[in-house]
Structures are given as structure tokens and as C-alpha cells.
Structure 1
């Protein structure tokens, strides 16, 4: 936990899911940011979207956003890899909270993963394998 960055968020009367999102998920996503981008870049290369004939690189920004969203929402194997990358950083207590509301927290985590990768899509093309 000492490795996790501190992220300041507004303190509100948030529910348990939002508190968990702000106190646990956001710091872990920030900590694992480079790894998440590299995993998505590998996903693109594996599906022949990057490389000599870079289809992803020729897409408009809007099309790239749509592609990222679609990949994370519909490719369950890949989505579970990304979620597992984050869940693997949980403490036992955090895992217990996550499992108590797994459906809602997985949905939130999927949205956060999508937004994080979309906001840095230009870096996907710049990362060296």
C-alpha cells in the first residue's frame, strides 16, 4: 500500500462503492498505469491493429475511443486480465469489500479502465515494446 500514489478527492457522503473507488481503485489504477497501457498496446498488436499496417493509428480520435470501449466491454478474456491486474494489488480487506459488491465495483472498474486508456490513447502509439 505504501507504493500507491495519494489521490486527493472531495470528501462527500459517498456510498461504500464510491468510497472504495476513490480510496482503493483510483490509486491502484494510477500505480499500474504504465502496465495497463502496455497491456492494451499488446492487445492491439496481437489483433493486428498496430504494426506495419496500423489500423488503430489511422482511426480518428473518436473511432479510437469507440474501439477502446468496445474492446474492454466485449472481450471478456481481456477485460478480466485488466481487472485481475488491479484486483491483484488488493489487500485481503480490500478484496473482501470488492467481493461484497463485485458486480457494481467491476462495472465501475471497467468504466475507469476505459476512461484511463482513452485519455492516454496517443501514448499507445508511442510505447516501445
Structure 2
């Protein structure tokens, strides 16, 4: 905690402004949801279909806002590290981020074949079949 607090010292004002803007957008989204979806019939007299559509739109925007929160926090962390001239391991960061865009590659052990659901050995399967 102490190291994180020291790291944020250089960019506290920037971090606070970003947080105020993002939380302001979150507050506005919650107010829109409550006014138009929860109490839409009483306050604005909206039909049910409009309330549902606005609710779906608010849900999508909320998901995008949470993803933006995560990206913003990561970028702020990297900017703070750069501001204090701390080393950023770019190779491990690149490897970590490429795992989100690359396809999963499974390397089987020698003598195994890849089957749906996991690796399976090459040994023949013994089935007891009774024919009439």
C-alpha cells in the first residue's frame, strides 16, 4: 500500500480528475436508468417497450463503462510508473496482452492426440462388445 501511495503522488490531480469524470458518467447512467426504466411509467409515462429498450441500452453502456474503468486504471498505473522512472517490463506486458488477442495453442505431450475436451492418449481403447 505504501509503495502504491508513493507511486500515485506524482499524478494525483490527473487521477482525481479522471475518477470524477468516470464516476460522474456512472452517476448519470444510474439516474437515467431510474428515471426512465424503474419509474418510467410514473414520471415520464413511457410505454413498456421504450422502458425495455432504454434498460438494455443502459446495461450495454454500463458494461462499456466498467471496461473503460479497467483500461483507465491500467493506463494511469503505467503513466505513474513512467513518471517516477520505474522500469516497465514491456516483454511480459506484451506477452500478457497478446494472450487476449491470440488464439489458444495447445501443445500435446509426445504420444497424445488433441481431441475435443482435452488431450487423449494414443492407446487403443478396449471395448467389450457382445454381438448376437
| Superposition TM-score, scaled by structure 2 size | 0.29
| Superposition TM-score, scaled by structure 1 size | 0.29
Q: Which one has the bigger helix percentage?
A: 1
